[in-house]
Amino acid sequence: MGASLRDPYNIGRKLGQGQFSTTFLCTHKTSGIKYACKSIPKRKLLCREDYEDVWREIQIMHHLSEHPHVVRISGAYEDISCVHMVMELCEVGELFDRIVKKGHYSEREAAKLMKTIVRVVEACHSLGVMHRDLKPENFLLHNVEEDAPLKATDFGISVFYKPGLVPSLLNPKKRLTAHEVLCHPWIVDDRIAPDKPLDSAVLSRLKQFSATNKFKKMALRVIADRLSEEEIGGLKEFFKMIDTDNIDLKLNKCMLCGYFWQADIDNRGTIGYGEFLASTVHLNKLERGKFSVGTKQCRT
């Protein structure tokens, strides 16, 4: 790591700025290939452990460099002021920015992304590595195409581990392995996850519902069961569209992490039609207090 970065590379514009490092565009002088160079100022490496953390990050990236969905490291360099890591360039940016720009993903699109992400997790675990900082900001898009490959990056707090390191904290009955996730029908079968995105209005109502307390949820369930067909609007048809197996909405592991977990009032692991209505009927309408219950008026 003692070689000078400027011998083989021309340093270009700044690509990004982090808390501990700055990333620049760099071009190999001989081949003309463009790379990303992550430069860490030595003044921010305050003790021996900080240097060891940087060295471990370099080791881990080399360790994982053959995986198609991990940003490949080309080399590491050190000069009087910085430690530099030269890596594969993913100039399009972060998955997080793509999500914000796109606005929403269908469940099928989300399943494809999760498949890639969990494959990276499986590869890391099989090679004795814990990433420890998985988030959309740490997955980069390789090109501008809609189906651009995802590449995991930022192994700054990753560590090597041995199986059984913290057995008391992990209950295999409650925690799926990465391999088990990849074998789940939601990931394996493209037809299971619906291809239509959640309507933004429905998603907004789910968000509101998730913030209400248990008593109010039960009250909304009672009211929702008595709403007229006219007031329900298109929610019945929407429920049919996403309830493909006709036995209430099954809660898979991904849905448990979102608003549908809050809609499962009786904790059965599925969302019944009444629960769905309670969580998606317009809450502003409920708050105003007027509903048609059969031929009667009901106030909340």
Output the known binding site for ATP. Answer: 38
Contact 116, 187 (CB under 8 A): no
From the list 50, 79, 97, 133, the catalytic residue is: 133
Backbone CA torsion sign across 165, 171, 175, 176: positive
Contact 149, 68 (CB under 8 A): yes
Binding region: 38
Question: Distance between CA atoms of 79 and 44, rounded to whole angstroms?
Answer: 14
Burial 86-114 (b: 16+ CB within 10 A, else e): bbbbbeeebbeebeeeeeeeebbbbbbbb
Question: Distance between CA atoms of 182 and 115, rounded to whole angstroms?
Answer: 7
E strands, the chain, are 9-17, 22-28, 34-41, 73-78, 82-88, 93-94, 129-130, 139-141, 150-152, 159-160, 249-250, 270-271, 291-293, 296-298
Q: What's phi and psi for 18, nearest 5 deg?
A: -115, 180
Q: Is 97 a catalytic residue?
A: no
Greatest CA span in the chain, whole angstroms?
83
Q: Which residues are catalytic?
A: 133
